[in-house]
Amino acid sequence: MYESRRNRRRDSILRARLIALFVALAALTVSLPVYAAPTVLVFGDSLSAGYGLARDAGWVALLERRLAERDTPVRVVNASVSGETTAGGRARLEGELARTEPDIVILELGGNDGLRALPVADMQTNLAAMIAASRAAGARVLLLGMRIPANYGKRYSEQFHRAFEQTADKQDVAYVPFFLAPIANDRANFQDDGIHPNAEAQPAMLDAVWPTLKPLIDQTLSQTPAAG
């Protein structure tokens, strides 16, 4: 009987210790910082929306895949719309910023302004406004520049391209002067319309963006605050 009471007492002490250990572990788990994955918002037109391509073939989808393969904890949101102008983008950007709360905004708009020969000054004003809105939301900005064919006239074409460069300089944002540069001179890189890159050209488009985007991602990851 004495031995039985001693065993029960020992079991009771052991259970109490185990319960205390579980409580301590639970408290430790709750107190550990949880890091929210930074978000990259791609805000562009058909070149980023993947016009005429399979869903997983566009350069934005390839960016997601590259980040996953490198175990880089970054969420990519593609809010690109085919046919979008800078005016249209400016009108809807604040809603996307509120919805996605991005850490980085890749701004790829302006090509449709050029194709429609819209005023360059208006395009420049819209780009600056979108950069300001992105920064006000706490995001870093990467501006992707664009060129248009020379048949729009040398003066307009030069003004168009220079507008991106001037905006990037004045707003002091990361900048890729012409992210179609690696593919632009080969007709085989484009779909039948001669405007939209095909699936085979998408990796080169990503490679044109990556060297400027990666430092922004690295900076963001190094400064990501603990949540919770």
Amino acid present at 163: A
In the residue annotation, 161 being an active-site residue is answered as: no
In Å, what is the CA distance from 146 to each residue of 23, 184, 219, 222? 58, 11, 26, 30
Pairing of strands 104-108, 34-35: unpaired
Interatomic CA distance for residues 85 and 4, integer angstroms: 83
Region label for 39, one of left (φ > 0), alpha (ψ between -120 and 50) or beta (otherwise): beta
45, 46, 134, 161: the active-site residue: 46
In the residue annotation, 45 being an active-site residue is answered as: no
Pairing of strands 75-78, 226-227: unpaired
In the residue annotation, 48 being an active-site residue is answered as: no
Question: CB atoms < 10 A from the CB of 137, how many?
Answer: 18
End-to-end CA distance of the chain: 52
> Both tokens of residue 65?
């895949």
Q: What is the DSSP letter of 199?
A: G
Length of the chain: 228
Interatomic CA distance for residues 103 and 41, integer angstroms: 8
Q: Crossing angle for the helix pair 59-69 and 202-222, nearest 10 degrees? A: 50
172, 192, 193, 222: the active-site residue: 193
82, 122, 157, 196: the active-site residue: 196
The set of catalytic residues is: 46, 193, 196
